[in-house]
Amino acid sequence: MTDAKTPAHYDLLIIGGGVNGAGIARDAAGRGYATCLCEMGDFASATSSASTKLFHGGLRYLEYLELRLVREALQEREVLLRNMPHISWPMRFVLPYDPEMRFDSSTPVSRALSFVMPWMKGRRPAWLVRMGLFLYDTLDRTRTLPGTRRLDLSRDPAGAPLKSHLKTAFEYSDGWVDDARLVIANLIDAQDRGARIFARTRVESATRTDTGWQVTLTTPEGREEVTATQIVNAAGPWVDQVLRDVFGQNDAHNIRLVRGSHIVVPRKFDHDRAYFFQNSDGRIIFAIPYLEDFTLIGTTDEDHPDPAEPPRISDGEIAYLCDMASQYFATPVTPGDVCWTYSGVRPLYDDNASAAAAATRDYVIRRDVDGALLNIFGGKLTTYRRLSESALSAVESHQGTKGPAWTRDAAMPGGDFARADRAQLLEGYVDRYPFVPEKVLNRMLSCYGTRVPMVLGDARSAADLGRDFGAGLSEAEVRYLKTQEWAHTAEDILYRRTKLGLQMSPEQVAALSEHLTTNT
């Protein structure tokens, strides 16, 4: 950073390196605001790497009548899929219809249905499901993805892994995204546009001045003072804690912490579609193809009392996900099948919902201290860019306008190619780096897109890439991740930057950790 005798000044200082903070930093830097972002750990190390990894409108939110949220998310889904074809792609979802399943009446739609058609006794007729999907299709008039269609599960391959009594399903479109890489892409772009990006940097205090804030940071190098005109508190699960510890708002209580847990099991089906399973308690889970060899199943909704408590899946959550998936899959899912789990805490705006699953996924931006402090509550992965634009509107009202909104049509770093040209791009990499297995190059394309040559450089042989740590992870890629993407530990690399952790042995992980420790 800068000399402590001449404190750096920023128009905007952002606390939190998750998707919301990263998106705001990117947008602000691109508009010309002097921007700094501080993250106390690794980027995307909490909520933003623990999602179900979907760009979706939130089909189940229709039951809670959150139509504006669904419409905005569907519109954003199209924008995001277009701007990052390397780390996201369209996916078809299969929703099996079980005519005998009975549902609770906790949602507005369920209560209305029970009142109008009491003889259904909690059942949802197929026409009602189809009507909901029709609404889902039509809420976004700019939709380019294929619409809903009805499936005969006795003939369609999607029926093969399911129980035989399931005869009908509905198939609709949404999108998949590598959540942690989404955060990194935003941060790379923010930095390229002039933002200062700092990992493992904690904001200790912020004192109000006549012109803004005097801020004390603790960095890996020590303490430092900076000044800022405006601060954005995008600390996710720690947003209230930041208000208490940094800004002295001791009674801050704005969010509801809800733990979402996922399990990963060996691949349950051979096709590339995902499943949307409904449970009688009103919850839903997804079963999604994951890293070629696995199936990702989740998520749960459990209240989480304390952000300081690391989120870990409980035995009850594992049993719940296994039991719910086993209601649909012909071959049961058991706790013994679980290869890996992960959990995250969603900082949902506290709307006093009685159940965690019913708490709103919408976002709230609150101006504080006469607009000099912006607090970000809630939100979802799919709407992070729109949230960022809303935050920048508040910045403009406080500081004045510098540049226009720009992110809607701007490709992410590495995403400056048309989705239809992906195969051609991969073919070019195969020709340029014939000594790298095509499977590895395809994985790298899904991480770095057109930046793959920045990773592999002018290498002409495998020896030029240095040590192979396993699963195709070379010393050259590790060096790139350290110097260009702020990676510091094996966990940063294996579970956020590359998702290779499930494919490496404990010995390989230990070797990578030793390498990172001895080559700092």
For the stretch 270-291, pLDDT in tens is 999 999 999 888 788 999 999 9
Residue-wise pLDDT for 112-137, tens only, equals: 444 444 434 445 677 778 888 888 88
349: left (phi over 0), alpha (psi -120 to 50) or beta: beta
Which whole-number Å values give the CA distances from 378 to 19, 80, 266, 294, 504, in the listed order? 12, 19, 33, 30, 35
Q: How far is CA 431 from the centre of its chain?
A: 33
> What angle (nearest 5°) sits at the alpha carbon of residue 175, between those of residues 174 and 179?
140
pLDDT, residue 119, reads 39
Inter-CA distances, 166 with 153, 154, 169, 170, 277, Å: 7, 8, 8, 12, 12
Domain range 9-47+181-254+361-409, CATH class: alpha beta
* Weakest mean pLDDT among 91-95, 139-143, 161-165, 174-178: 139-143
What integer pLDDT is reported at residue 115 of this predicted model?
A: 42
Instruction: Identify the sign of the CA torsion 237, 242, 244, 245.
Output: positive
Question: Residue 500 phi/psi, 5° resolution?
Answer: -95, 0
For residue 384, CA distances in Å to 69, 182, 233, 337, 376 come to 12, 10, 15, 34, 11
3-class DSSP state of 341: strand
DSSP secondary-structure letter at 282? S
Other CB atoms within a 10 A radius of the CB of residue 16 amount to: 29
- DSSP E strands: which ranges in 267-372? 274-278, 284-290, 294-298, 302-303, 340-349, 363-368
**Which has the closest alpha carbon to 234: 73, 45, 399, 23?**
23
Q: Find the helix or strand (DSSP H, E) in which 130 lies.
A: helix 126-138
CATH 3.40.47.10 is held by the domain 90-177+256-348: no
Cis? peptide before 299, omega within 30° of 0? yes
Q: What phi and psi, each to the nearest 5 degrees, are found at residue 270? A: -95, -15
For residue 308, pLDDT over 90 is answered with no
Q: Using 50, 70 and 90 to split pLDDT, how confident is the model at 252?
A: confident
Q: In DSSP terms, which residues pair with 94 in a beta bridge?
A: 171, 275
In the chain, the percentage of residues whose pLDDT exceeds 90 is 79
Q: Three-state SS across 31-65?
A: HCCCEEEECCCCCCCCHHHCCCCEECCCHHHHHHC
pLDDT for the residue 68: 85
Question: What does CATH list as the number for 419-518?
Answer: 1.10.8.870
Average the pLDDT over 238-251 and give the result.
95
pLDDT surpassing 80 at residue 242: yes
pLDDT at residue number 116: 43
Give tens-digit pLDDT for 457-515.
999 999 999 999 999 999 999 999 999 999 999 999 999 999 999 999 999 999 999 99
pLDDT digits (tens, 9 = 90+) for 392-443: 999 999 999 999 999 999 999 999 999 999 999 999 999 999 999 999 999 9
Cα separation, 413 vs 407, whole angstroms: 12
With contact defined as beta carbons under 8 Å apart, do 80 and 387 qualify?
no
Tell me 332's DSSP state.
P
Q: What is the pLDDT of residue 143?
A: 81
Radius of gyration of the chain (CA): 23
> What pLDDT is recorded for position 359?
58
205 and 246 Cβ atoms separated by less than 8 Å: yes
The domain locations on the chain are 9-47+181-254+361-409, 90-177+256-348, 419-518
What mean pLDDT do residues 232-251 have? Answer: 96
Are the C-beta atoms of residues 437 and 429 closer than 8 Å to each other? no
At residue 251's C-alpha, the angle toward residues 248 and 255, to 5°, is 105
For 512, counting Cβ atoms within 10 Å of its Cβ (0-12 exposed, 13-18 middle, 19+ buried), the class is: buried
The answer on pLDDT for 229 being more than 70 is yes
Q: What is the pLDDT of residue 306?
A: 87
Q: How far apart are the first and last CA of the chain?
A: 18
- The pair of three-digit structure tokens given for residue 164, joined into one six-digit string: 């035989």
Q: Where are the alpha helices (DSSP H) in 364-491?
A: 384-399, 422-432, 438-448, 452-456, 475-484, 490-491
Query: Comparing 90-177+256-348 with 419-518, is the CATH topology the same?
Result: no
What is the number of residues in the chain?
520
Residue 363 Cα distances to 338, 347, 376, 446, angstroms:
33, 10, 7, 29
What does the pLDDT look like over 44-99, one tens digit per residue? 999 999 999 999 988 877 877 778 888 899 999 999 999 999 999 999 999 999 88
CA atoms of 450 and 443, how far apart (whole Å): 13
How is residue 102 written in tokens? 């009975």
Given CA atoms 38, 42, 43, 48 in this order, what sign does their dihedral have?
negative
